[in-house]
Amino acid sequence: MTNQVVKQGPVLDTYTTIRYSVHFEIPKIKGSRFIAEAFPLEEIVMVPEMLKVIQRREYNASHWCWAYRFGVDSVEVRSNDDGEPSGSAGLPILRQIERSGFTSVLVVVTRYFGGTKLGTGGLVRAYGEAAEAVLQRCEPKEVILRKDIRLSFAYPDTSAAMHCIQQFDAPIIQTHYSDITEVTVAVRNSQVEALKTNFIEALRGQGHVS
């Protein structure tokens, strides 16, 4: 089993995951069946329950090997050989996830033993092939990373405030009017600090950001 967190570089705006779960079985290898499934992963805490569902469904299988890659800024990866020789199953699955460019994805490869041992090299190839095959059949989904920012300003500053907001990828998701106007925008992660700075400057220090 491997469990690792890797810090990425600059703040990222987007990541690519998979749109739907996909199921694919490669041709038998010396009698053994390898059934691969890929799932979009919204939260790591979902993994144990997702594995239980597969194990209950494929209850006669010999092994349920898996790996996931989760996150964008700090990426967490984990793999599990589930009783296969160390490094022969989980890691080949993980390598294929990394090569695919997807993140926030779980891949599980279920094996039904066919009576003939494949050896460590054979297992590495089989699990890697199954993971690659299912990932190639996944539809990519690009997700834009945003942060909600609340901007407050007086009525006379409405034009300047709106003009500032329009310079960024920051859709307005909520507006509240009282003695002042409060606008909540969903701004791209990499533009958060620039929006805050430009907003204060555009309103000559009269606006408020929270």
> How many residues are there in the chain?
210
> Residue 109: what pLDDT?
98
> Residue 193: what pLDDT?
93
How far apart, in whole angstroms, are the C-alpha atoms of residue 84 and residue 64? 9
In the chain, where does the domain assigned CATH 3.30.230.30 lie?
A: 2-142
At 137-180, the pLDDT tens digits run 999 999 999 999 999 999 999 999 999 999 999 999 999 999 89
The radius of gyration of the chain's CA atoms, rounded to the nearest angstrom, is 24
> Residue 13: what pLDDT?
81
At 9-68, the pLDDT tens digits run 555 688 999 999 999 999 999 999 999 999 999 999 999 999 999 999 999 999 999 999
> Residue 8: what pLDDT?
53
Minimal CA–CA distance to 173: which of 87, 73, 165? 165
Position 164, amino acid: C
pLDDT higher than 60, residue 6: no
Q: How many of the other CB atoms lie within 10 Å of CB of 190?
A: 14
Which sign does the torsion angle of CA 120, 98, 105, 17 carry?
negative
* For residues 83-89, average pLDDT: 96
Contact predicate 153/208, CB 8 Å = yes
Residue 16 sits at the vertex; the CA angle it makes with 11 and 18, to the nearest 5 degrees, is 150
Q: In the chain, what percentage of residues exceed pLDDT 70?
A: 94
Which of the listed CATH numbers 3.90.1150.10, 3.30.230.30, 3.40.50.720, 3.60.15.10 matches domain 2-142? Answer: 3.30.230.30
pLDDT higher than 70, residue 101: yes
CATH class name, domain 146-209: alpha beta
In the chain, where does the domain assigned CATH 3.30.70.240 lie?
A: 146-209
For 126-164, letters b (16+ CB in 10 Å) and e give: bbbbbbbbbbeebeeeeeeebeebebbbeeebeebbeeb
The residues near 35 (Cβ < 8 Å, ≥ 6 apart) are 23, 24, 25, 58, 109, 110, 111, 112, 130
Q: What strands, in cross-sheet order, belong to the sheet with 22-29? A: 2-7, 74-80, 63-70, 105-112, 32-40, 22-29
